């Protein structure tokens, strides 16, 4: 089985301003270092061969010549490596001087891309030296050591001929900050990876802006975005540079360097390009934009084919488990292990503060949705089947909040507990106490007699604990809830969650039916944290009794309680039957995302 995993890296090398010999040695060293760690694609900062802060030295023929010589040396000295690298340099042509990104692979310079948007404002005055890409008069240039013409222009994509999912587009610093970036056209023409060679100076607040820009740009273009920034060895005459390297994938930052961290290190991430392809297939609007862009006869891109090294992940991914950790130390043996962190709980933020904010937002959405339905139907009453389990607990708490939003008395919420063969004292008592603490009306209807009569009617043995035995209880409960809601002119609030619905872990014509399911978009792993959120809120309001009830519910095994208990303990545990919800929700996230 193959996986479209690209191990890519950004580097901010040590450098000396205008010393191309020294700078090229640092670049060569990093390329070889990356090759030893199975990196397939490496991005260096803008003008990394000369340094960005050379000023009027860019106009000197000596520096221009040394830069090209350094580029050819980099190509020659790395011909035995497998890494595709892109470096920055000034390139003098007949019609002007260009700020360029040059791609190097296996001893050859395979493409050169000039900067499209050359800034000339504030602290930036690049137009003093460089011409924009639009001023070029040629689409190919002759450059050693190839001794053949090299593609030159902004309409170039680098493609791995063994893996067509890997298509690389290029932009240089300012290109990403303009309304219509070159990477937008490139992504619509098939680029899945964008390399940005940058020299972005540091001012207060700019790092946050830069981080947001890269993240949003990778989300908008549905790409992997590699942002390589100039480091602290640049001249500080006018500006200071921090080497803020960022690697993002479809809006999510996968790796990020610290500001003013040691230069000469690699920021590495393993990028799931298969996910990029899948997201583009899902997005009809991306496809529409792509079709519109490709209909323009001037939008055609030149494909430059390379043969990248095999990442070696095919076998390791087959045996890997969720929850990979990030490894940033270059000294670690990487082998075939993934470096990028894969969140085992994608529905649940890992940070405590972010998790609290997420839980608050989700609960508000649930409550607002139900409140709108209550107002629209002109009902003032709701009926909930309360089992003492997680899902019905969350449904009751959300319903109570919705009633508060509608200025309705919580006594109009009827919490119906319907004990039967599998009900334990623990869940029953928690249901009773929860209804009281929320101010709801509690109604108890024991269904053992009616279910037993139903068994007799259809010839079902009470000792045969099959699907009929279980589903009969669920359907009897739904019948009671629906009929009672009709009686009091109320609506039945559904309690089933997204994970159960996705698995089909519910009874048809039973608990899968309601008039408004407040939990239907909430995965089970998040349900637990939402109930915990309500427990914390109860403590803040000095309601220790409610908090204790909720904590005990959280400690209770997840179960439909449709089979007789083992003494006083729950005998039917959902995760023993269907498997861990952690796994189900992990796969469900990527299936639905």
CB 498 within 8 A of CB 523: yes
Residue 25 pLDDT: 97
Which pair of structure tokens corresponds to residue 72? Answer: 């050819």
> What is the spatial distance between Cα 298 and Cα 308, in angstroms, rounded to a whole number?
29
Backbone angles phi and psi of 47, in degrees to 5: 50, 40
Question: What SS3 string covers 352-421?
Answer: HHHHHHHHHHHHHHHHHHHHHHHHHHCCCCEEEECCCCHHHHHHHHHHHHHHHHCCCCHHHEEEEECCCC
Q: Where are the domains of the chain?
A: 7-312, 352-592
Comparing 30-34, 145-149, 326-330, the range with the smallest average pLDDT is 326-330
The sheet with strand 302-306 has its strands ordered as: 252-256, 246-249, 224-229, 193-198, 163-172, 156-160, 302-306
Average pLDDT of the segment spanning 381-401: 97
Tokens read off for 242: 């921090």
> How confident is residue 326, by pLDDT bands cut at 50, 70 and 90?
very low
- pLDDT, tens only, 302-325: 999 999 987 655 444 433 333 333
Residue 569 predicted with pLDDT over 90 = no
Q: Answer for the pair 498, 519: CB distance below 8 angstroms, yes or no.
A: yes
Beta strand 302-306 with 148-151 is unpaired
> At residue 295, does pLDDT exceed 70?
no
Show the tokens assigned to 158.
């680098």
- The residue among 30, 590, 575, 521 whose CA lies nearest residue 266 is 30
What is the model's pLDDT at position 572?
A: 76
Segment 102-107 mean pLDDT: 96
pLDDT given for residue 251 in this prediction? 94
Residue carrying the six token digits 């972005």: 200
For residue 480, the model assigns a pLDDT of 97
pLDDT of 367: 98
Q: What is the pLDDT of residues 131-183, one digit of tens each?
A: 999 888 888 888 876 667 899 999 999 999 988 889 999 999 999 989 989 99
Report the catalytic residues. 46, 115, 173
pLDDT for res 571 = 65
Tens digits of residue pLDDT in 197-237: 999 998 888 899 999 999 999 999 999 999 999 998 988 87
Q: Which CATH superfamily is domain 352-592 in?
A: HUPs (3.40.50.620)
The mean of the pLDDT values for the chain is: 90
Among all chains, which residue has been given the structure tokens 């994970």? Answer: 499
**Residue 451 is encoded by which pair of tokens?**
């279910």
Q: Give the pLDDT confidence score for residue 129 in this predicted structure.
A: 94
**What distance in Å separates the CA atoms of residue 119 and residue 239, rounded to the nearest whole number?**
15
Pick the CATH number of 7-312 from 3.60.110.10, 3.30.930.10, 1.10.1370.40, 3.40.190.10: 3.60.110.10
Alpha carbons 74 and 58: distance in angstroms, whole number: 20
Q: Which residues pair with 42 in a beta bridge?
A: 9, 85
How far is residue 422's CA from residue 60's CA, in Å, rounded to a whole number? 86
In tens, the pLDDT along 274-284 reads 999 999 988 88
User: Is the pTM value of this prediction over 0.85?
Assistant: no
- Average pLDDT of span 57-84: 96
CA angle centred on 167, ends 166 and 173, rounded to 5° = 120
Q: Counting every residue, how long is the chain? A: 593
pLDDT of 566 reads 72
The pLDDT value recorded for residue 124 is 85
Q: What is the pLDDT of residue 328?
A: 40
Task: Provide, rounded to the nearest whole percent, the portion of the chain with pLDDT above 70.
Answer: 93
What average pLDDT score do residues 477-501 get?
A: 96
């Amino acid at each position: 089985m193959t996986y479209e995993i690209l191990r890519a890296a950004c580097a901010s090398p040590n450098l000396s301003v205008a010393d191309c010999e020294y700078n090229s040695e640092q670049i060569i060293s990093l390329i070889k270092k990356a090759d030893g760690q199975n990196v397939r694609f490496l991005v260096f900062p803008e003008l990394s061969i000369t340094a960005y802060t050379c000023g009027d030295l860019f106009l000197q023929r000596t520096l221009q010549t040394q830069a090209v010589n350094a580029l050819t040396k980099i190509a020659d000295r790395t011909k035995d490596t497998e890494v595709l690298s892109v470096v920055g340099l000034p390139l003098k042509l007949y019609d002007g001087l260009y700020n360029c990104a040059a791609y190097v692979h296996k001893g050859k310079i395979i493409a050169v891309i000039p900067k499209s948007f050359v800034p000339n404002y504030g602290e930036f005055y690049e137009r003093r030296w460089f011409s924009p890409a639009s001023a070029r008069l040629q689409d190919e240039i002759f450059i050693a050591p190839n001794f053949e013409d090299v593609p030159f222009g902004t309409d170039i994509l680098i493609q791995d001929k063994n893996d067509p999912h890997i298509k690389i587009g290029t932009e240089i610093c300012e290109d990403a900050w303009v309304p219509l970036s070159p990477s937008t056209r490139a992504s619509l023409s098939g680029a899945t990876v964008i390399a940005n060679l940058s020299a972005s100076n540091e001012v207060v607040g700019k790092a946050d802006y830069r981080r947001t820009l890269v993240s949003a740009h990778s989300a908008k273009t549905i790409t992997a975005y590699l942002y390589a920034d100039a480091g602290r060895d640049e001249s500080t005459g006018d500006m200071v540079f921090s080497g803020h390297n960022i690697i993002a994938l479809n809006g999510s930052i996968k790796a990020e360097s610290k500001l003013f961290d040691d230069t000469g290190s690699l920021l590495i991430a393993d990028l799931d390009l298969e996910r990029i392809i899948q997201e583009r297939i899902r997005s009809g609007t991306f496809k529409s934009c792509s079709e519109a862009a490709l209909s323009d006869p001037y939008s055609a891109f030149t494909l430059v084919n390379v043969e990248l090294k095999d990442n070696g992940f095919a076998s390791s991914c087959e045996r890997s488990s969720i929850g990979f950790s990030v490894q940033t130390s270059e000294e670690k043996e990487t082998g075939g292990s993934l470096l990028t962190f894969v969140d085992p709980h994608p529905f649940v933020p890992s940070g405590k503060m972010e998790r609290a904010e997420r839980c608050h937002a989700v609960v508000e959405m649930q409550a607002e949705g139900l409140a709108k339905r209550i107002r629209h139907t002109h009902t003032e009453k709701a009926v909930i089947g309360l089992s003492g389990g997680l899902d019905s607990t969350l449904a009751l708490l959300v319903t109570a909040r919705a009633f508060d939003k509608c200025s309705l008395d919580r006594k109009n919420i009827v919490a119906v507990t319907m004990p039967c063969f599998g009900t334990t004292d623990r869940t029953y008592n928690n249901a009773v106490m929860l209804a009281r603490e929320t101010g709801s009306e509690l109604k108890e209807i024991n269904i053992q007699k009616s279910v037993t009569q139903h068994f007799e009617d259809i010839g079902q043995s009470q000792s045969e604990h099959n699907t009929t035995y279980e589903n009969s209880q669920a359907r009897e409960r739904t019948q009671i809830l629906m009929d009672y809601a009709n009686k009091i002119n109320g609506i039945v609030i559904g309690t089933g969650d997204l994970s159960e619905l996705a698995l089909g872990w519910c009874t048809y014509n039973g608990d899968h039916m309601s008039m408004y399911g407040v939990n239907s978009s909430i995965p089970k792993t998040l349900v637990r944290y939402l109930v915990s959120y309500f427990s914390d809120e109860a403590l803040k309001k000095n309601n220790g009794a409610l908090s204790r009830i909720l904590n005990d519910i959280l400690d209770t095994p997840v179960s439909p309680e449709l089979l007789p208990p083992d003494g006083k303990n729950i005998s039917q545990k959902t995760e023993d039957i269907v498997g861990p919800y952690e796994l189900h929700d992990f796969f469900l996230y990527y299936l639905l995302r």
